[in-house]
Structure 1
Amino acid sequence: MLKVLASTWALLLGLMLLMLGNGMQGTLLGIRGAIENFSTTEMSIVMSCYFVGFLFGSRMAPEMIRRVGHVRVFAALGSMISAVLILYAAAPHWIAWALMRVVIGFSFSGVYITAESWLNNASTNENRGKTLSLYLIVQMIGIIAAQALLNFGDPAGYILFVIPSVLVSLAFTPILLAVSPAPAFDNTRPMSFRKLYTTSPFGLVGIFLLGGVFSAQFGMASVWGTQAGLLVRDLSIFIAAIYVGGLLFQLPIGWLSDRMDRRRLAVILAAIGMLAVFLPVVVDLPFLGLLAVAVMMGGISNPLYSLLLAYVNDYLDHKDMAAASAGLIFVNGVGAIAGPIATGWLMGLIGPSGFFLFMSVLFAALVAYGLWRSTQRRETPDASGAFTALSPTASALAVEAALDRADEETTPA
């Protein structure tokens, strides 16, 4: 692991700074939106627009890279991110923020694709699995640490918008100076929805529902916290706890996924997640109780994403996995766009508890659909699609590389 870190530290440092900037701006907007008296509906649209941009970026960025090259795309999108992070404070209007969130979502998607291609190229067949594991850890640490930075300024001022802008700008220095040119890569055409559904109805529906869960966590947690009256310190701790859970639960759930029926495990995890996030709806929990819910919420949803990807791949030939992964990422993105809007509607209807109720409903739908599918297709294949820890923000390139490497590691010599 130390050898891998020594060869990729510059890339990983740059990616961590990117996650610091992105994690900080997502939470900060929810807090500042309340200060500007934006309604819950307005903030839900603002938060949803990030995923609109991210989805378009995932489809358009590879073509941009092929036309003008990695360095130019990376520099151009990075400049737009830094500019938008400053402009948030200069143009505190929800419509302006919504448009800027489309731009920043598009830009971050392209930046991730470019950085992940470099990271993939910088690793070897022998260390690619460890490199991708470090990548996930760095992502989580970056988002967790970003929450602490929120306590170093006044959300009503400018400084907290300047900090992520500077961090994102600094992120490009180690990446651009330390890496070799990345190879050109093909933009994998997604598998059709019809074929994905025919292959694994439970996997497709589950990935779509998880898109809503992730976007609620990433986009609406700060809106919930301000509506619930949390202090900035407590809100930052709550959001950090979500990603701590995601980091801690990946390994044990991955271990279980190789030793029991994956559909059954997914249903069990979704049921646990449903109960955990429904608890704050019916019980007025103390802050420590909310932290426990946050850990469970992130600890269930993040590994569940990786589990469902592996489950779909159990039904596929190796040659079809890349196309299926690209299609599932698109489906997840569509679900993510709807998540904040539906959450905001529920919060406007019943108050802050709508944040948890929305995720509970999605987990319940996943449980119900999984149980119904077990009556339609009782047999499930052996766990041939290797489980590998993946982030919902990972591009198709990173997902394909991770699954390829995990598949190699689990295939007998």
Structure 2
Amino acid sequence: MTPLHDAGSDAGARRPGINGMRLRGLIRKEFLQIVRDPSSIAIAFLLPAFLLLLHGYGVSLDATNVPLAFVAEAPGAEAASLAEAFAGSPYFDVRRFAIMKDAVAALSTHEVNGIVRVRENFSNITAGTMAPTGPMPIQVILNGVDANTARLVSGYAEGVWALWLEDRERQAGREIRPPVELVSRIWYNSEMRSRNFLVPGLIAVNMTLIGALLTAMVMAREWERGTMEALMVTPVSILEILLGKIIPYFIMGMGGMALSVSMAVWVFAVPLRGSLWLLVLVSSVFLLVSLGIGLFISIVAKNQFVAGQVAIIVTFLPAFLLSGYIFDIASMPRPVQIVTHIVAARYFIAILQSSFLAGDVWAVVRPNLAALVLMAVFFLTLCGLKSKKRLD
């Protein structure tokens, strides 16, 4: 379509720079629009709080209170002692069955995730030896539908078994002298809480979606209502229009980020060991990337429904699946690992997890922050090149 040739448009063309008064007017207009239409406030503050509460409490990689069937074919003191050892573990919810058939039926209907079967010759176990013939005295059967949970349950069961054997040796008065004594020392997340790992990543996933939606939906709404056309015929330059859109939603996005970090520290008790100022800096750069993506989507789509759908597809889903939030990138196929390099959340999550759990590890911060800066420059420049004072 032909460019707008009126006095306002020509004046805007002659003023490619930034006029402070016009820019302040645009920012004030945007904040007034936000107050009149509080959906932006909901996106910036209510959405991250809701998603953090939902995912923070609903998503966990810890296997606790796993329903476990315990079958003792010949009840006795040894079998009862082992059953108590499993029942005393925080990882298992022990359910006792009299016969193996009932336990297998419970496993097939997913009432339990595993079976510990103690056979009749279990009482023949002595220190370091078992019955030389016949079936093994103890059998562990696991539901392998969820392979990760099955591996965790297998490890927990082996741990309970080892501790029970050690306790039995001590009760018998025999001194335990293992050839190698293992002392575990866990760094950065000594409590081994999956929430400490997931919540920082969840902040990045949420801010990816929120930053893109703030600009994508709002700009598209202005195109639909016709207010963008009215703005185009004013003396403002396209750079002032872009800054007038980015600055207010950048402020709101940082407010949402502050809320998310506050909830992570005070609601979910995730330690923040890194510098707060570095976290603010990195969050600012990442938010510019998200806002740039959303702004570019709105420039291309100019429709709220389409902009919202595209924002979810190109920002939230890759951030959720390909950023290392839940799935380890190193375990992905090589082609998928290459694709993850274009997902901005990948770099932000790496810095967030390091900042929260390990502190300011500059070997992690520098390359990931540099990648975010490059992506911010790329998307904002792309928005500037794509934006023109034209009604087409």
Alignment TM-score, normalising by the size of structure 2: 0.31
Q: Which has the higher strand share?
A: 2
Which structure would you say has the larger RCO, counting Cα contacts within 8 Å and 6 or more residues apart?
1
Alignment TM-score, normalising by the size of structure 1: 0.30
| Larger Rg belongs to | 2
